[in-house]
Amino acid sequence: MASNSRPRYDSYSTGNSSRKKIAVSSSPASAPSSRPSARKKPASSRRNVEPTRKTTEASRRAASQERSRSEKQRLSEIKRQERERRQRERFMRRIAGISLLVLLVGGLIAGAVLLVNSSSFDVTTVKVSGVKRVTSDDVKELAQVSSSSSLLLLDKEEVVSRLRQQPWIKDVKLTKKLPHTLGIQIVERTPNAVVVLPGVQNKWLISEDNVWLGKLDADEASTQAKTDSFGAVVFNAKTLVHIIDVPLSHPRDGKKANTAEVANAIKVLNGLSGQLRALTARVSAPSVAKTKIFTKSGIEISIGSAEDIKIKDRIARSILKSQKGKVVLINVRSIDAPTWRGLTEN
């Protein structure tokens, strides 16, 4: 049976005389449900929930990291600024210190220059010590230190050089005693022998370090320097050993002997023992090989070269002792085969 699909109209009364018609469908399929319909959410919405949460968490972490980086950059910038500030302060303090130091040094230099150039340190007193044969006046004159010389600016090397021009002066020591005193300590040379050179009255005094001290006068009582600035030294040379038979040479005051014969003779004398030296009167030095000494009693001792002089001296003294009063000639030029000759031998 076919269903009637046309709507059915019922009437009801609302208290008014007028009626309203309501259409009622008789079809069950078209009748509206009295319960609310349960709507299903799309599957796609459920699937997107979890990714959305992860994205939010990542965003928060990124924002936190960004804030952390910003904070680190801010702190780093603060530290950099503080470091630069400290560097500027140190630089300014260093500049201030250097400027102050320059001012102080400049002031000290200026003060020192004024003080040195003033008369506060003029040499007013010169004290000479150590002289035996050279006079103090000669030392002062040769030193050329005036009363207007500044003790602080005094050139020691120049003064010492001038003093060493005097043949008798071997060494000099200067001391400055502020404010006005200069001390000059002299070390004199020791006369060693008289060298008799060819010619009339050609005797020269020579020191133990082989330096010519000056020409002796006629009575061998003093040496006369070639220049007046050196002055004259009084010394009795009669008791000294005489070196004879030497070749002609040209000695100069204050210079070393430049002949091998004289130099070897001086080495022989310096190497002798005190006992044999006291017995020696002359040294004959026509050549190095023929160098010999003569005792005060006339005994001839052939020495030759000054090499092994200590051994030669010991051998000679032994023969002199064992052959006392008999020996007249001793030859120790060869220390391996020394010889001697007595009075009765030809």
Tens digit of pLDDT for each residue in 138-175? 999 999 998 888 888 889 999 999 999 899 999 999 99
How far is residue 14's CA from residue 34's CA, in Å, rounded to a whole number?
A: 24
Q: Residue type for 270, please?
A: N
Is 319 within 8 Å of 328 (Cβ atoms)? Answer: no
- pLDDT value of position 25: 46
Contact between 139 and 128 (Cβ < 8 Å): yes
Give 16's pLDDT tier (boundaries 50, 70, 90): very low
> What pLDDT score was predicted for residue 157?
93
**Please, which pLDDT band fits residue 64 given cuts at 50, 70 and 90?**
confident
Query: In which band, very low, low, confident or very high, does the pLDDT at 15 lie, cut at 50, 70 and 90?
Result: very low
Query: Do 139 and 131 meet the contact criterion of CB atoms below 8 Å apart?
Result: yes
Whether residue 29 is predicted with pLDDT greater than 50 in this model: the reply is no
Q: Is the model's pLDDT at 34 over the cut of 80?
A: no
Indicate whether 242 pLDDT > 90.
yes
Mean pLDDT of 205-212: 94
Name the token pair of 119: 């008369």
Residue-wise over 125-154: b if at least 16 C-beta within 10 A, else e? ebebeebebbeeebbbebbebeeebebeeb
- The span from the CA of 293 to the CA of 265, in Å, is 9
The distance in angstroms from the start CA to the end CA of the chain is 199
SS3 at position 123: coil
Read off the pLDDT of each residue in 10-21 and give the average, rounded to a whole number.
47
Taking CA atoms, 119 is separated from 16, 127, 151, 307, in Å, by: 148, 20, 10, 58
More confident residue, 47 or 230: 230
Higher per-residue confidence, 108 vs 163:
163
Q: How confident is the model at residue 54 (pLDDT cuts 50, 70, 90)?
A: low
Over residues 301-314, the mean pLDDT reads 97
The average confidence (pLDDT) of the chain is 83
Does residue 253 contact residue 216 with C-beta atoms inside 8 Å?
A: no
d(CA 123, CA 183): 10
Q: How far is CA 52 from CA 43, 46, 47, 49, in A?
A: 15, 11, 10, 5
In Å, the largest CA–CA distance within the chain is 206
pLDDT at 314: 97
In single-letter form, the type of residue at position 27 comes to S
What are the φ/ψ torsions at residue 306 (nearest 5 degrees)?
-75, 0
Identity of the amino acid at 236: N
> CA-CA distance, 320 to 138, in Å (whole number)?
46
Per-residue confidence band for 2, with pLDDT thresholds at 50, 70 and 90: very low
- Do the strands 241-244 and 232-234 form a parallel or antiparallel pair, or are they unpaired? unpaired
For 89, residues 6+ apart whose C-beta sits below 8 A from its C-beta are none
Pairing of strands 181-188, 125-129: parallel
Non-local CB neighbours of 132 within 8 Å, separated by 6+ positions: 188
